[in-house]
Chains A and B, each alone.
Chain A
Amino acid sequence: MKARHRPRDRCCGRSMMLDVIDLTAAYGHAQVLHGLSLRLEAGRIHSLLGRNGAGKTTTLRRIMGLLPHQQGRILFAGDEITGWPTPRIARAGIGYVPEGREVFTALTVRENLTLAGRIGSGDWTIDRVMQQFPGLHPRLDAPAAVLSGGEQQMLSVARALMTSPRLLLLDEPSEGLSVQMTAVLRDVLVALRDQGMTILLVEQDVGLATKLADDVTLMSRGRHCWAGTAAEFAQAAGVRRRYLGA
């Protein structure tokens, strides 16, 4: 029986939503994460930035339990969730919007949402997510396969919300979105943060990512290399140039 850890639950007066400590991960023999640490304060948008191949997507998949556990620890709202199976992690309150949307195309929009809502606390209903994404409302009974890419992305976010998460992981949500759709998404994320949700955002569009973020972690080659607030990141031109080439 492992002792349940509740360390540093309240650090510096702020509560931690996610604490990732020295995490490693691999696809087969290809080691992708080499000891990543990441701390998310509750109720804030946290951008995880890095070049292609830095391990951002792998980090999210690993937090979700979609890759085999190797080393390191993951604490979620003070609970040790290291090594938990994916459904249990989802039920504990982590919502996941994967890269490439991955909506269930064999299901209707409504089925996609209802299915995710089965584990929700009921905070999020179809009516409530439709208020966030009114564009999806007329498509509720359409198969998800016929939605446009932008609509599928909205559905993917809406589906994650239906699980009533406390922490939302988003992987490249603006990819392939029109300017208008990106604006809708940005407003939704800000509104969610203002309602108290914690958001971990992986985003290729550094402009969008930094505009939205309260905090930033930079990673390179499977490790964190810089962390700070968005304001500090804006000042750190040298760091941006070195790790993002921007």
Chain B
Amino acid sequence: MTAFWTLQVLNALQHAALLFLIAAGLSVSFGLMGFVNLAHGALYMLGAFIGISVAAQTGFWVALIAAPLAVSAIGALLYLCLLGRVARLGPMPQVLVSFGLVFIATELVRIVWGDIPLVLDPSAALAGRVDLAGATYPVYRLFVICIGAAMAAALWLGVNRTNLGAALRASVENPGMARAIGIRTERMFLLVFTLGAGLAGLGGVVAAPITAANPGMAVSALIPALIVTVIGGMGNIAGAALGALIVAGIEVFGAVLFPAASAVLIYAALAVALIWRPEGLLVAKGAR
């Protein structure tokens, strides 16, 4: 019985790791620019498909690095050409344009990679299972948990312990005053957007061996990531991590304990969060 619950905890952690990678960029660009970037789901999907193509040529480890870099570049290009302008126009243009990009990306993926779900084979070093507290668990999924935890720690340190992170926090709290002490907030926006895109791309390529890549994943990944952002509070890494743990916990344990209600539980949690703390559990100080 212990083994069963160990497995569920590990499943929840692994699911949370993926959710965190997608939600981190969404949350920070939300907090910094007030930008609801629905195209984030498409960047996640592109990470998976680009990763699969690169892995077919050069192997898993190269794909693990190359896919996030490629998606960062795509994100930066999108920001410079289109989304950076749209970000200034308010919520409605943001939602329309970024969701339009989801449709375009989905069709492009259909044309290039087809409709059949594709699976990525992880490196042989990550194959197999290990024994943990009486349960056996796939090594690859442990690897995903480690990547999520390492990224969360690195981002937290970067935001809270570096000069660049201080500039980012200042820009989230009071963009006008940040500019008045010489911080070029537009560069900050581009940097955050590019980094967030890279994280979504990493999420995509890491998820590809677990959930086969398919053109529907842009939308299916977006919804839980938005819920993570709303529950956790926008604009901060700790909030995205906490939100990811809560949403993953509800999804995994909900499916075990209340299978009949499992599909609606995260929406119920969203409703509760919106009533109880509409600003999110952890809010970046001063963020509006």
By a beta-carbon cutoff of 8 Å, the part of chain A in contact with chain B is: 64-66, 85-87, 90-91, 96, 98, 102, 104-107, 111-112, 114-116, 118-119, 145, 159-160, 162-163
Contacts and interface: CB of A to CB of B under 8 A. Distances in A.
Contacts of B180: 64, 66, 86, 90, 96, 98
B170 interface: yes
B173 A87 contact: no
Nearest to B179: A86
* B166, B181, B182, B184 interface centre (most CB from chain A within 10 Å): B181
Contacts of B174: 102, 104
B248 to A, nearest CB: 27
B139 interface: no
A111 B169 CA distance: 10
A163 B170 CA distance: 15
Instruction: Enumerate the 4 nearest inter-chain pairs by beta-carbon distance, A residue then B residue, closest first.
Output: A119-B182, A106-B285, A86-B179, A90-B182
Contacts of A119: 181-182
A93 B40 CA distance: 39
B167 interface: yes
B283 to A, nearest CB: 10
B58 interface: no
Given A114-B163, A115-B163, A105 B173 contact: yes
10 contacts: A86-B180, A87-B182, A96-B181, A102-B174, A107-B169, A111-B166, A115-B181, A118-B167, A119-B181, A160-B181
Interface in B127-169: 163, 166-167, 169
Contacts of B179: 65-66, 85-87, 90
Given A104-B178, A107-B166, A118-B163, 17 more contacts: A66-B176, A66-B179, A85-B179, A98-B177, A102-B174, A102-B177, A104-B173, A104-B286, A106-B169, A106-B173, A106-B285, A107-B170, A114-B163, A115-B166, A115-B167, A116-B182, A159-B181
Interface string B259-288: 000000000000000000000000011100
Interface residues on B, range: 20 to 34
Contacts of B178: 104
A115 B285 contact: no
Interface string B2-15: 00000000000000
Contacts of A96: 180-181
A64 B173 CA distance: 19
Contacts of B173: 104-107
Nearest to B166: A111
Contact of A118 (B182, B185, B284): B182
B172 interface: yes
Interface of B is mostly: helix
B170 A106 contact: yes
B182 A106 contact: no
Contacts of B172: 106
B74 interface: no
Contacts of B250: none
Contacts of B183: 87, 115
Given A66-B176, A86-B176, A104 B169 contact: yes
Contacts of A90: 179-182
B32 to A, nearest CB: 12
A168 to B, nearest CB: 12
Contacts of A65: 179
A119 B174 CA distance: 18
B285 A105 contact: yes
Contacts of A114: 163, 166
B181 A116 contact: yes
A163 B177 contact: no
A106 B169 CA distance: 7
B181 to A, nearest CB: 4
Contacts of A86: 176, 179-180
A246 B114 CA distance: 80
Nearest to B287: A106
B161 to A, nearest CB: 10
